[in-house]
Amino acid sequence: MRREAQYFRTWIEIDSNALYNNVRVMTKRLAPRTRFMAVIKSNAYGHGLTQIAQLLALRSSLFASRYPLWFGVDSIVEALRLRKEGITQPLFVLGFTLPARLKEAVGADITLSISSFESLKALSALKQRPQFHIKIDTGMHRQGFELKDILQLIKALKKAKLAPAGVYTHFASAKDPGYPSFTNGQFRTFLKAAALLKKAGFKNLIRHAAASGGTLLFPDTHLDMVRPGMALYGYFPSSEAETHLAHRMHLRPVLSWKAVVGEVKLIKKGEYIGYDLTERFPQDTRIGIIPVGYWHGFDRGLSSVGEVLVGGRRRRVLGRVSMDMIAVDLSGGGVARQGDEVVLLGKQDKEEVTASEMAMRIATSPYEIITRINPLIHKVISD
């Protein structure tokens, strides 16, 4: 029995070799000196903010001077946490920063996103100003200045004596190789905006646009920096991208989610299972109770349709997913006992459950499956 199974009812395993493999796969596609921003926002997509940052920082030889390493986070809170944990690499906040917290970025050497005139005004009011990049809205219509705003933006920057260190955008559909026209149009718009800023006297801007989709599928968009997220963790950004690339590019999932069998029992034919009595047993059935539920991030939508691995076999979830436990069908061969390992995400013997599979069962995205795993679950680094 694994040590984790003795002390934890559920845990996450992080495969450091898989993480490093995925970095190598992507950096092979980059020109030398292209900056590599590892996007570790939102608790590193469920993998652990500080754990992933520390693993990548420790293996700086993967990047060296050829691909300077940055980290992309969602908030000033995540950035400050990394500084507290000893991360010295450049940190970039992708999300909105509250005006009252802008000044915190100065002492911690954190680079911020500025995507509205209101944020620009708040920044200009500071005596000491942090480094910042300008976000351009090229068609996704979330954050950012539109192309029609650029001349007004330039005027505001010069009036406030502000000089951005970079300029960037985000693609809406770069993960679909079969539909490049919108991405190409966004990229052209971005290049126009960047050219206007350069012409206005803002030199040496770091230009970046490519997240995982752009990094893998649109090499012309790499520019001065790429920002891979999902691919870093071993998943193609879409099924279309996987079909297009998997035969020549091997990404490996970094995260496995495991638990233990908490109880085994035999339920008689005709009895019901779980809340709302949604399933009735057509025959005597051996079931296992697993101490995870939707509080842990095992989606309630997986009720009666999700599968886990026990004894190297797929075991269907029975009835409702509860807050803190699920029941699974142990019939169909094999012997399971209390304390046996359960794989919720990952491999066991020859079987594997992936985030993409789970997402398909409940009509969502694998991004949501892994990101919503409860961050309090114990994590183990393996190599």
Size of the chain, expressed as the number of residues it contains: 383
DSSP state of 276: G
Residue 178: how many other CB atoms lie within 10 Å: 9
Which residue(s) pair with 179 in the sheet? Answer: none
Is 71 in contact with 53 (CB distance < 8 Å)?
yes
Which residue(s) pair with 104 in the sheet? Answer: none
Q: For residues 96 and 73, what is the distance between their CA atoms, to the nearest angstrom?
A: 11
Dihedrals phi, psi of 166, to nearest 5 degrees: -165, 175
Enumerate the H helices of 229-326 as residue ranges. 239-245
Which residue(s) pair with 257 in the sheet? Answer: 12, 345
Catalytic site residue 275?
Answer: yes
- Marked catalytic residue, from 41, 135, 175, 258: 41
Q: For residues 228 and 240, what is the distance between their CA atoms, to the nearest angstrom?
A: 17
- Marked catalytic residue, from 148, 198, 275, 347: 275
DSSP string, 149-178: GHHHHHHHHHHTT---SEEE---SSTT-TT
Enumerate the H helices of the chain as residue ranges. 3-7, 16-27, 41-45, 49-58, 76-84, 104-107, 117-124, 150-159, 181-199, 212-217, 239-245, 355-361, 366-371
Query: What amino acid positions are annotated as catalytic residues?
Result: 41, 275
